Amino acid sequence: MEDKAKMKKFSTWKLQLRMILASIILFTLIYALVTVVGVFLGITGPLFYVGFGLLIVFVQYLAGPKLVGWSMKVNYVSPEEAPNLHRMVEELAMNAGIPKPKVGISDFSIPNAFAFGRTQKDGRVCVTRGILNILDEEELKAVLGHEISHIKHRDMIVMTFISAVPLVCYYLAWSTIFSGDNNNNLFLVGIAAFAAYVIGQLLVMFISRVREYYADQGSVEIGCQPHKLASALYKLTYGSADANKEELKEVEGLKAFFVNDVSSARSEIQELGQIDLDMDGTISESELNQLKYDEVNIKTSSKVFELISTHPNMLKRVKRLAEMN
């Protein structure tokens, strides 16, 4: 038991270190490039770009929760309206050592859940209408534990800050490439800024994937069962694959908040078939235990797609949960 505790602590430390290092690389690389380009063009001093990035972060910090809530059609519910949800959220928040978040239900039928907010005290945990119809209570609790772990780890704040950096590069690229000026140097600067934007986005996606692993682990650490979270992820993937295409388009810009990448669900179904040995649509504890010793087959195309995804490959996530079981 002591060895397992040490392994878990070390794993958490590694995940935190990855987020910190990726954030430092992102800010250093992108801001250095944008500042050098701005000074070269004589647009203004480097402080303008730093100030512009901070302004975006400040606006995101103030308006972010309202924008997410409005975009996701969230209706906050009272303990009387949703007693089971409030009971589970309160219990998990107590286990995590954070204030109880606000509880909301999103009017989307795509089965999923998400968390957002400015601080731990401002945390909000929401589920969609669709998730309430397909998960049993322990599976839902495991998903809520995943979302509460995002609040506990404060990675929502990290995502808010780092997501602003590529926006600065995108703004610079747009204003130079499509400025109407025939200056070749200006066009090359725009191309460089766009390249920086792409690099920035890749790093943001990397951090987003890391935090999902971290939240999966957090769910287990605050009392949820690994096989119940694995089973929930399995069901959510199938639910996302069957979701209405128009709804999928509506949530495309906010899918990083979700438990799984709803856009890649269809391509992940075949790989997940390797886990459900009795084909009953759930992942049992014995099936997850078996996965500890079995090799999984992840297609090359899936590995490539993961690099441009906000979430880790689902089969890899379940394999990691098997190692925690």
Q: What are phi and psi of 294, to 5 degrees?
A: -90, 145
Dist CA 274 CA 291 (whole Å)? 9
| Active-site annotation, residues | 147
Strand-pairing partners, residue 124, are 102, 116
Dist CA 190 CA 242 (whole Å)? 40
